[in-house]
Amino acid sequence: MGMGKTVQAIALVLAQCELKKATSGSSILSSSLGTSQELPTVKGTLVVCPLIGALQWIREIERCTIKGSNKTLLYHGADREKCMYKLEEYDFVITTYSTIQADYIPKRKKQNSSVGEDVSRRKSVLHSVKWDRIILDEAHCIKSVHSNSTKAVLALESFYKWALTGTPLQNHIGELYSVVRFLQVTPYVCYFCEDCNCTGLDFSFDACPQCSHQPARHFLWWKKYIEEPSWSYDDEGRDAMVWLKHKILKSLLLRRTKKERAVDLALPTKTICPGWKCD
């Protein structure tokens, strides 16, 4: 906290908007690897954060930008889905992890007993478009890859993905996987087939839809080469940690320490005012 992550993220969003204008709006990066079908694209940035940080983001955006230059929407509350939002009109859409999770929980209409019709889950408002950018604030909230909140976040589509956190690792190396998976950094988050060249981001409990091989023939790169070896104290574990630090994290991690920001965080000189209390 206090490292300026929010302000820096806002500044980079605005800087990239100017860069896009200079390059006729062309996108620098290719589309998300997880895209299964074409979704309508919007220009805005989706910020996902804890509830306590939502208003802070809105205040910082208002403070750091020219008044009226950006439109911000707080997507939260019981009536959020009843409103017909035109998401393409907003530059920033702020929401929370709990909202993303609640909207993503499978919602099925009543089945027609006579016909046996099964209506698949409809997509939520935030999952029905492809964002220009998604920013996860306090990204360690998705540390468990099996939680509903994490699954809901990973289902979002965007061209760019950023993750902000002051505690990327809390208990074990496996917690980093969810963040790297969100960023879709290949090949570290891919499943590979031992019998062919098949690769994919998601695991299938049935036969692989790409190569038809059984699930047991597929392995997760991160688990095989990073997470499992990291539990050992031999050369294999050491090599895994070296690879994690110098090959993976060094290529995608931008770190700010309190020592680097000592001047910005400097407190005024302490003044002691003695006082006496008489009964």
Q: Is residue 214 part of a domain?
A: yes
Q: Is residue 26 part of a domain?
A: no
pLDDT tens column, 69-121: 889 999 988 777 666 667 888 999 999 999 999 988 765 444 443 444 343 45
Clarify whether residues 66 and 144 are in a common domain: yes
Flag whether the pTM goes above 0.85.
no
Is there a single domain that holds both residue 59 and residue 129?
Answer: yes
Same domain, 60 and 84: yes
Phi and psi dihedrals of 211, rounded to 5? -120, -5
Q: Strand 130-137 vs strand 45-49: parallel, antiparallel, or unpaired?
A: parallel
* Other CB atoms within 10 A of residue 254 CB: 8
Instruction: Render pLDDT for 143-187 as a digit per residue (tens, 0 to 9).
Output: 988 899 999 999 999 999 999 998 887 788 888 999 999 999 888
- Contact predicate 61/135, CB 8 Å: no
Domain holding 204, by residue range, is 185-254
210 and 142 in a single domain? The answer is: no
Judge whether 90 lies within some domain: yes
| Residue 279 within any structural domain of the chain | no
Residue type, 225: Y
CATH number reported for the structural domain that contains residue 91 in this entry: 3.40.50.10810
Total number of domains constituting the chain? 2
Residue 47: phi and psi, rounded to 5, are: -105, 120
